[in-house]
Amino acid sequence: MSFIFQQLAIADVVLVETSAFADERGQFWEAYKRSAFVASGIAYTFVQDNFCRSVRGVLRGLHFQKSAAAQGKLVFTVRGEVFDVAVDIRRGSPTFGRHVNVNLSEQNRRALYIPPGFAHGYCVLSDEAIVGYKTTAEYAPDLDRGIVWNDPTLKIPWPIRHPILSGKDQRLPRLTEAEIDFVFQAGSKP
């Protein structure tokens, strides 16, 4: 088993690919191995695992927690396929307000590492999807914030026009009005 770590257009966001072992019983692959992640420069400790089941057309996000409980995330899909997005919300960053997006699926076994200082969201492309993600900080409801999914300044090419949204996600502010307290620090490492 091995991992391939690929820096994306926003260098702090990392696409992680893994190999699988397949036989007549099915497949086996490693989603996370601390030693491999540390060797690649991702040395955060993950403290909470989450799983979310959603149906086609559901869009979740764009979510983040304020810096006092900032979460890095390792996001992967156990079933189905999602269009996954990370938006840089670190003030002063040369990529502030820009995003990266990738498709994560059970077939491609990709994961996306999103460091603290990014908003995260995804929409479901398959009939059903089960998304798992490891976080570097526990959920803190009082510090939970977000940005509306269709903020025109973000220019995210969502593959859906009329998503199924939670009431909370429908009321999220635009980037310019969001409670963002992240500041970019040149030379920082995820």
What residues act catalytically?
A: 63, 133
Q: Helix (H, G, I), strand (E, B), or coil: what is residue 69?
A: helix
Instruction: Identify whether 8 is preceded by a cis peptide bond (ω within 30 of 0).
Output: no
- How many CA atoms within 13 Å lie on the side-chain side of 87? 25
Pairing of strands 99-105, 81-88: antiparallel
Maximum separation of any 2 CA atoms in the chain, in Å: 53
3-class SS shares of the chain: helix, strand, coil, % to 5: 10, 45, 45
